Structures are given as C-alpha cells and as structure tokens.
C-alpha cells in the first residue's frame, strides 16, 4: 500500500479520509462530480428500521465557524436502502462502505444490523448510539455506559462485520462510554457526533430551529473533537475514527497524531462538495512539509 494507507479494523484503506454519515448521501450524488473511489471509504446516511421523514423545518441554522442541524434521521428505512440505494451505490463505488445505523430500541439496532450484515459491500457497521431510547425515558443510549454496552452486545451478536460505535460528546466522561463499548465487544469507535447547540432569531425572539436545539458541526468543534479523540485513544485498545470539524489535510494529520486510525469529514462536504477529494490530494505535500513518510507511522504520535 502507499504512504497514505491506513488500517481500520483489519481492512486496508488507500487513505484515511472518509466522508461522514449524513453529509455524503449514498455516494452516487457526489459521483457525478468526481471519482469517489479516491476515498478511503465513506459512511452513508443513517439508517433506521422504518422510514422516517425527520424533524419539521426549519432544521438547518448557520453559526460562526459551523452549522446546526436538526434533520432528525430522514431515511427511507433499511429495506429500501438495501433494495434501492445499495445497488446504485455499487455502480459508482467499488470499495467497502460503512453503514451508519440508528435505532430507538435495542431490538431495532439489532434488526437493522442483522439485515445489513448480509450485504457484501458493507464493510463496517457504524452504530450511532446518540439516538434517544424510547423505552428508557428518552435518554440517549450514548449517555450511559450500561445502555451503550447493551446496544454493542446486541449488535455484535448478529453480525460478523466490524462494529464501530459512534459516540456522543454530550456526556461528562466520554472515556467511560468508550471503555464500556470496548468491553462489550466493539471493534472500533467513531467520535465525535455533533454537539448540542441552538440559535435565536432576534426579530422573532424565538429559536431558529423548529426543534429548538440541533447538532453543531464544522470547524468550531474541531478542538473539542481532537481532545476527545486524544482521551479515548489513550483509554482503549481498539481503533478510533476521529471526526468533528475536519476540513483540511492538516486537520487529518492532527487527528492521526491524537490517536485516530482514520478520519471522517462531515460539514466540509456541505460547504464544498470537493472537500474530501481536495484533502486527499493535499495530504502528500503536507506530509512532506512536516517530514512524514507514512501516515501509519504517526498514529498516536502526540501521546509521547
């Protein structure tokens, strides 16, 4: 493999750059702009058991150095994804893809993962535990180590594919959640998801978002994400995928130095659809500038 290659749960990637779920559709939307096979992989839109329309509008708001979204898991449901989206994806993307899974009960996570486990092109299951637990008083699975471990065990029981558990930053101690997922059998972790935030319209004196709050993403959250990737990668032995505000080749290298084995790019795709392609193309020159021969050599390099 080349100097940009990395390994994620035993699978070699040509490079560490992975578009994040919810920012890259099902891939074919971007394939008309450039050859998306230049990517390491990508994580497609969050998938639930049943179709979901999402939250009422407005559900997007601007912020300094970022954006807020309260889209609310708009998805056609897992059966439609398997029947309609994945065949179209196979026509334009010839590598393994990451399937992002959301659920509102342990049983739903388990069922969605069991169905996606049968899909050959799905290389990893990324289990988003930031969803509310409708059978547990509305608490998100990702805010409680016991619930996070329960989801992880349930999913691991129905799939042979590597499971990446996607962690929420809206917790007191993210390392406690990370260790619970590792102990329950997670093969890797993705972090961070968006940070809860809001905006108020000065004219109406009301929240901008119909949902009141939304998830903050973009460059504003990068230092927070970097800190959490650093903490979690030191606390666990499984691979970490770093994301949150990544928008340049320099950001990718920072994430790797903090301990990430691969890096996801989210909001930058919404601002510039060529963002991931440009980051990949810029990596060799940035590596040369900082005396980096191979990306694998620097993972966790800032830990000392």
Does residue 178 have a pLDDT over 90? yes
Contact 301, 293 (CB under 8 A): no
Contact 163, 127 (CB under 8 A): yes
Please report the pLDDT score of residue 138 as a whole number: 58
Does residue 144 have a pLDDT over 90? yes
Q: Considering all CA atoms of the chain, what is the largest pairwise distance in Å, rounded to the nearest integer?
A: 56
Please report the pLDDT score of residue 73 as a whole number: 82
Which amino acids are annotated catalytic? 131
Does residue 190 have a pLDDT over 70? yes
- Residue listed under structure tokens 């100097």: 3
How many Cβ atoms sit within 10 Å of the Cβ of residue 94? 11
DSSP H helices in the chain: 28-31, 78-80, 86-92, 106-116, 145-156, 174-183, 222-235, 249-258, 267-271, 275-289
| Residue-averaged pLDDT of the chain | 95
Q: CATH assignment of 6-56+75-197+216-303, given 3.20.20.70, 3.40.50.11540, 3.40.190.10, 3.40.50.360?
A: 3.20.20.70
pLDDT digits (tens, 9 = 90+) for 274-296: 999 999 999 999 999 999 999 99
pLDDT digits (tens, 9 = 90+) for 252-266: 999 999 999 999 999
Does residue 167 have a pLDDT over 80? yes
CA distance 239 to 247: 21
pLDDT digits (tens, 9 = 90+) for 74-127: 899 999 999 999 999 999 999 999 999 999 999 999 999 999 999 999 999 999
Does residue 134 have a pLDDT over 60? no
Please report the pLDDT score of residue 227 as a whole number: 98
Higher-scoring residue by pLDDT: 132, 25:
25
Cα 145 to chain centroid distance, Å, stands at 19
Does residue 202 have a pLDDT over 90? yes
Does residue 136 have a pLDDT over 70? no
Please report the pLDDT score of residue 139 as a whole number: 64
CA distance 248 to 268: 9
pTM for the full predicted model:
0.96
How do the domains of the chain map onto residue ranges?
A: 6-56+75-197+216-303
pLDDT digits (tens, 9 = 90+) for 16-62: 999 999 999 999 999 999 999 999 999 999 999 999 988 889 999 99
User: Encoding tokens for residue 231?
Assistant: 């903490």
Please report the pLDDT score of residue 183 as a whole number: 98
Please report the pLDDT score of residue 257 as a whole number: 98
């Amino acid at each position: 493999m080349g100097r940009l290659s990395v390994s994620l749960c035993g699978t070699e990637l040509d490079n560490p750059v992975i578009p994040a779920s919810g920012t890259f559709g099902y891939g074919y939307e971007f394939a008309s702009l450039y050859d998306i096979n230049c990517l390491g992989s990508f994580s497609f839109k969050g998938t639930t058991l049943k179709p979901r329309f999402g939250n009422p509008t407005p559900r997007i708001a601007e912020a300094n150095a970022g954006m807020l979204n309260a889209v609310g898991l708009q998805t056609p449901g897992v059966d439609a994804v398997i029947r309609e989206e994945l065949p179209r994806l196979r026509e334009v993307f010839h590598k393994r893809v990451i399937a992002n899974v959301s659920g509102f009960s342990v049983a739903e996570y388990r069922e969605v993962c069991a169905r996606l486990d049968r899909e050959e092109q799905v290389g990893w299951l990324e289990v988003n535990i930031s969803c509310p637990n409708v059978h547990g008083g509305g608490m998100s699975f990702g805010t409680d180590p016991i619930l996070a471990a329960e989801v992880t065990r349930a999913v691991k029981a129905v799939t042979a594919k590597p499971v990446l558990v996607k962690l929420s930053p809206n917790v007191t101690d993210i390392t406690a959640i990370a260790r619970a997922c590792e102990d329950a059998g997670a093969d890797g972790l993705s972090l961070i998801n968006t940070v809860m935030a809001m905006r108020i319209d000065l004219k109406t004196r009301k929240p901008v978002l119909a949902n009141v709050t939304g998830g903050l993403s973009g460059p504003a959250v990068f230092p927070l994400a970097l800190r959490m990737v650093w903490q979690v990668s030191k606390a666990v032995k499984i691979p970490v995928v770093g994301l949150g505000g990544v928008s340049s080749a320099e950001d990718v290298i920072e994430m790797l130095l903090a301990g990430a084995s691969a890096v996801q790019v989210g909001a930058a795709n919404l601002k510039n659809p060529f963002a991931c392609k440009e980051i990949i193309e810029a990596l060799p020159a940035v590596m040369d500038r900082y005396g980096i021969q191979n990306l694998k050599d620097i993972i966790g390099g800032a830990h000392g």
